[in-house]
């Protein structure tokens, strides 16, 4: 098994992509420590996996440090850090408020920063390398008009990933990111499957013609965390069904006249 004996921390692990990542890493031999703000739910999922769970909020540095400390205290080391926790929010550029903007960046971007810093300190001190995987999104690159806070937070994660990869390369600590397209999670169901129109719009710019599964994202995370990716760092991989090469569509109310 590719992660036999390795210690992995996964944030946002109570459901969706985070839970899929925790399951995949555990199935491949890792000793997994799961963190989530949904304490009761993550504890139940961890019990099923034989993992350790902790209630925590990634927007709080002390909570992130405590989660990483839990992994080290329990298993003696840290080899894999998956900064997955994130929240979404939709509002037009003229409507988004400061409080919501701060909340999204606090969870998505600061959470990735705190997790990367805390994990890197342990990995550097161990002097045996490690892998950090951040969860970004296609929205880091695609400009979606009603998603300014989320898009900015994910674009920040891409750059954070690149900077950490360069800064930590001499310590053999690799840092990469995974940017899913539309994945069939509870969060996506509420937005994408709210109407046939919304579902059709997503599929119209997804060349593979279907939504992705959380396990398909977890497989990419597992690869980047493994020794199979030992020469890969500073990269963002997009499991998105082919969306990135397709231009984003905009509504056309009326066709302009052509002289």
- pLDDT of 80: 98
**Predicted local confidence at residue 196, as pLDDT:** 82
Q: Counting every residue, how long is the chain? A: 259
- pLDDT score for 259: 62
pLDDT at 256: 64
Q: Note the pLDDT of residue 194.
A: 75
Spatial distance between the Cα atoms of 239 and 212, rounded to a whole number of angstroms: 8
Split at pLDDT 50, 70, 90, the class of 252 is low
pLDDT value of position 248: 64
Instruction: Tell me how far apart the terminal alpha carbons of the chain are, to the nearest angstrom.
Output: 65
What's 7-183+213-237's CATH class?
Answer: alpha beta
Per-residue confidence at 258, pLDDT binned at 50, 70, 90? low
Of the candidates 55, 54, 13, 48, the residue with the CA atom closest to the CA atom of residue 27 = 48
pLDDT band at 255 (very low <50, low <70, confident <90, very high): low
Q: Are 180 and 240 in contact (CB under 8 A)?
A: yes
pLDDT confidence of 77, banded at 50, 70, 90?
very high
Residue 232 has pLDDT above 70, yes or no: yes
CB 134 within 8 A of CB 112: yes
**Higher pLDDT residue, 79 or 250?**
79
CB 229 within 8 A of CB 131: yes
Q: pLDDT, tens digit, for every residue of 98-123?
A: 999 999 999 999 999 999 999 999 99
Angle between helices 98-105 and 148-168 (to 10 degrees): 30
Which one is predicted more confidently, 188 or 166? 166
**pLDDT for 250:** 62
Q: Is the pTM of this model over 0.85?
A: yes
Average pLDDT over residues 72-93: 95
Q: Name the residue ranges covered by the structural domains of the chain.
A: 7-183+213-237
For the chain, give the percent of residues with pLDDT over 70.
Answer: 95
Q: Is 150 a catalytic residue?
A: yes
Distance CA 76, CA 23 (A): 21
Nearest CA to 116 out of 174, 172, 77, 57 is that of 174
Check pLDDT > 80 for residue 191: no
> Would you list the DSSP string of 71-124?
HHHHHS---EEEE-------B-TTT--HHHHHHHHIIIIIHHHHHHHHHHHHHH
List beta partners, residue 35: 11, 54
């Amino acid at each position: 098994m590719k992660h036999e004996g390795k210690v992995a921390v996964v944030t946002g692990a109570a459901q969706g992509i985070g839970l899929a990542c925790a399951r995949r890493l555990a199935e491949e031999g890792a000793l997994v420590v799961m963190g989530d703000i949904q304490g009761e739910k993550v504890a139940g999922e961890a019990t099923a996996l034989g993992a350790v769970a902790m209630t925590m909020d990634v927007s709080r540095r002390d909570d992130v440090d405590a989660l990483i400390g839990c992994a080290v205290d329990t298993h003696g080391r840290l080899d894999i850090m998956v900064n997955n926790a994130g929240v979404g929010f939709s509002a037009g550029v003229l409507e988004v408020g400061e409080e919501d903007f701060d909340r999204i960046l606090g969870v998505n971007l600061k959470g990735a920063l705190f997790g990367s810093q805390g994990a890197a300190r342990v990995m550097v001190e161990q002097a045996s390398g490690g892998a950090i995987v951040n969860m970004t999104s296609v929205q880091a690159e695609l400009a979606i008009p009603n998603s300014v806070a989320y898009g900015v937070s994910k674009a920040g994660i891409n750059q954070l990933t690149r900077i950490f990869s360069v800064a930590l390369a001499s310590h053999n600590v690799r840092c990469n990111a995974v940017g899913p397209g539309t994945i069939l999670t509870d969060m996506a169901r509420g937005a994408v499957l709210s109407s046939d129109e919304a579902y059709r719009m997503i599929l119209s710019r997804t060349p593979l013609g279907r939504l992705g599964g959380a396990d398909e994202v977890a497989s990419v995370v597992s690869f980047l965390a493994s020794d199979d990716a030992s020469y890969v760092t500073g990269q963002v991989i997009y499991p998105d069904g082919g969306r990135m090469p397709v231009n984003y569509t905009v509504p056309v109310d009326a066709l302009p006249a052509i002289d």
